[in-house]
Every structure is written in structure tokens, then in C-alpha cells.
Amino acid sequence: MRIKVFTLFPEMLRPVLSQSILGRAIAAGLIEVDLIDIREYSADKHRNTDDYPFGGGAGMVMTAQPIVDAFAANLPEPYGGRRIYLSPRGRALNQRVVEALAKEKELALLCGHYEGVDQRALDAVIDEELSIGDYVLTGGELGALVVIDAVARLVPGVLGSDESPEDESFSTGLLEYPQYTRPADFRGQQVPGVLTGGNHADIEAWRREQSLELTLTRRPELLDAAPLTDADRAMLARLRRARQVEAQLDGIPLKRMGLQAADLFPKAWFNAFVPAENRKAAKRQCFSGRRHVGWLWQAFSMGFIPQFDEGEAARQNWREAQPAACRLYLPDDGLLFEAENSAMLTPQALSPLGHFMLADAALTCTYVETGRAGKGPYSHKV
């Protein structure tokens, strides 16, 4: 990849181009960056490159002559690459545009300064205007460096073999999941356990969930164009439902637990509250069987949990047994939340949820609303 930068201030770019990954890539010849000083092509006896705008107005405008002559002297005719003017009026730069630019053999980047560039120079030598964001810089040099940096990362060999551009933010159409490195315990803050557990499939699922959730929160519009699998769509539906639940329970501080933890909850609840001798039979009722849809509360209604309270007695029992913090599980949505202050999770406050289960973290006491008339609520303490 060969990049020519046309600028009045080449010294602004040089230090950045000599450092780190870009510096190494240039030294290794993987990319070639030529800095062309527009002033050297000025035909003006004082080497001027700007003048007052016709029609009045603040600031100066870069004149056409040095720019057009600099391009003519440095680019072959016809030019096989793309000639770009960095400009806040341009097409917004994003990873898709960067990917397209990385496929070009050559790029020519024109950096404006002051109030901009005489339109006739742009008409003569520029194929496209690109903006690096909706804000105004003093000059195009920082924009040119942004383009060079983003494009260079995609040139084969520029990143080391263990650094891949493929699962970065935007490359997957989504924002990237959070990253962690050693130590596993940083001043009391632990790395998410799944990352040190060694189960590759679990790690992938956790990262995907984090990516989807971050994108949903920060850049939901990206989801429209992102290539999503059926599993992604199912995850997103659960994440969106979690937001609705949080909105429904506005004012009750809840922390959503990961979808993997939510998926493990029914089994753990079942094993904690159904005595071993009843589990085989209860499993057929409480988990999807051939004849039954399968609801965990059937462990109560069908007598697989020998002693329990029902109705007002269940509410009373839960109030007495209630732990300080507790888990809230929504069986219909497959969502699990943690509440620091379980006293706020009264059956009344949770009534909009219909079918829900409460339990302490150690699974020693539980309260279940079935959302069905005449069934429950149930509670039990082991």
C-alpha cells in the first residue's frame, strides 16, 4: 500500500508515522507513506499557499495552484488509486469505508487548512471527500493520520500474527466485548470467572452476549446491519426483554446476571429444592417432557417438594425467611437478576411480572409466583 499525503505541515505527521505499529510497518516496507509539502509547489514569489475568500468571510482559503501542481508532479496520469480530501463535509469514515480503502493499491490524501481549499482544486484532483467525524479540526493532518492508521491495520503483515483485526469492534458489525488481562484480581476487582474457567465455548458465548449488549446499549443502529445468527437474535430478544423488566421494576436496583448463569438456574433450583428421591419423576413434569410443557412450580403442585407453603402462608414464610440479597428468575424469559436489597422485591412490586421465582444465592429458600389463577404462590425453606 502506497499513500501520498499532500500537506502544508508534513512535520505534523512524521512523529506519528515513526512510532509503534505504523513505524514498524513503514520500516518493513509493508506500507509506504510519502509526505508532500504543498508549499514547495507554490508559484508565488513568497511561496504563499492561501488567500482571502472571494465574497468575504473570515479566514483564508488554500489556493488551487500549488495543490493542483503538487498532485500533477507526484501522481501518474491516469492515477490507479483513490484521491481523497479530508473534510468535515465528506462521507463519514467507518470500518466499511476503511476496508474498501485497504483494497486500493494507492491512496492520495489532501489535508486542508484554514477555512479550506479552493473548490476548483477539489474539482480538478479529488475523487472523494472523507470526514473523520462530525466536528471541525484545524487541519486535515490528524484526519489523514486516522485514515492511514485504520487502513494500515488491514494491510497483511502489519499486525502481528497473534493480533487479528477480525473480531475488533465494527469488524463483526458489533462493538467489542470487554477485555481483561492479568492480574485476575486487581485491587479486589475480579476478572469475570468465565474467562479463567478454560471452557472455550462458554467464553465465546459470554463475549458474544457482551458484544450484543454493549451494541444494544451504545449503538443500537449497528444491529440493523450486523450479520446476526439465530442464536444472536434469540440472545438479543432476551437482552431487550431484560430492559423492559428493568423499566417495569423502575426504582428497584437490579443487576442482570449473564445468560449462561440464567440458563443454569432452573437445574440448580431443582436440585436444591427437590429431594433426590423425587428428582427422576419430577424431572418429567418440571422440565419439558413429551406430554408436559414443564414448569418448575409443578415440583410444588405435584408434591415433589414434600413440605411447602401456599397462598398467604407462602408470602408470610418468604417474608420471614427472606435473605438480605436475592435472585429473581423469570422462567418465561430465561432471565436472572441479582437484587442487593431483597426487601424491595415484594410480591406486590413484582406482580407485573406474572410468573417469577425468588431465591437466596445459596438456594436455601425460595418463593414462586406461577402467574396462573389458583396455582400458588408457593414458598419453601430447606
Ligand X SMILES: C[S@@+](CC[C@H](N)C(=O)[O-])C[C@H]1O[C@@H](n2cnc3c(N)ncnc32)[C@H](O)[C@@H]1O
Read off φ and ψ for residue 242, nearest 5 degrees: -60, -40
CB of 93 to ligand X, least distance (A): 8
CB of 101 to ligand X, least distance (A): 14
Which position's Cβ is nearest ligand X? 112
CB of 131 to ligand X, least distance (A): 4
CB atoms within 10 A of CB 76: 9
Cell representation of residue 155:
494491510
Cell representation of residue 337:
437478576
Which spans of this chain sit near ligand X (rule: CB under 6 A)?
Answer: 86-89, 111-113, 115-117, 131-133, 135-140, 143
How far apart CA 170 and CA 211 sit, in angstroms, is: 10
* Among 237, 217, 255, 219, residue whose Cα is nearest residue 345: 255
Question: Given the complex with ligand X, which of 145 and 245 has the nearer CB atom?
Answer: 145
End-to-end distance of the chain based on CA atoms, in angstroms? 69
CB of 221 to ligand X, least distance (A): 20
Question: Given the complex with ligand X, which of 107 and 358 has the nearer CB atom?
Answer: 107
Question: Given the complex with ligand X, which of 132 and 216 has the nearer CB atom?
Answer: 132
Task: Please name the residues in contact with 65: beta carbons below 8 A apart, sequence gap of 6 or more.
Answer: 41, 42, 43, 44
Question: Given the complex with ligand X, which of 139 and 165 has the nearer CB atom?
Answer: 139
* Among 212, 193, 213, residue whose Cα is nearest residue 203: 193
Question: Given the complex with ligand X, which of 139 and 173 has the nearer CB atom?
Answer: 139
Can you say whether residue 327 is alpha, beta or left, with left for phi > 0 and alpha for psi between -120 and 50 degrees? Answer: beta
CB of 52 to ligand X, least distance (A): 14
Question: Given the complex with ligand X, which of 54 and 135 has the nearer CB atom?
Answer: 135
How far apart CA 350 and CA 361 sit, in angstroms, is: 19
CB of 134 to ligand X, least distance (A): 7
DSSP string, 75-137: S-SS-SSEEEEEEEEEEEP-HHHHHHHHTSSEEEEEEPBTT-B-HHHHHHH-SEEEESSSS--
Question: Given the complex with ligand X, which of 36 and 117 has the nearer CB atom?
Answer: 117
CB of 129 to ligand X, least distance (A): 8
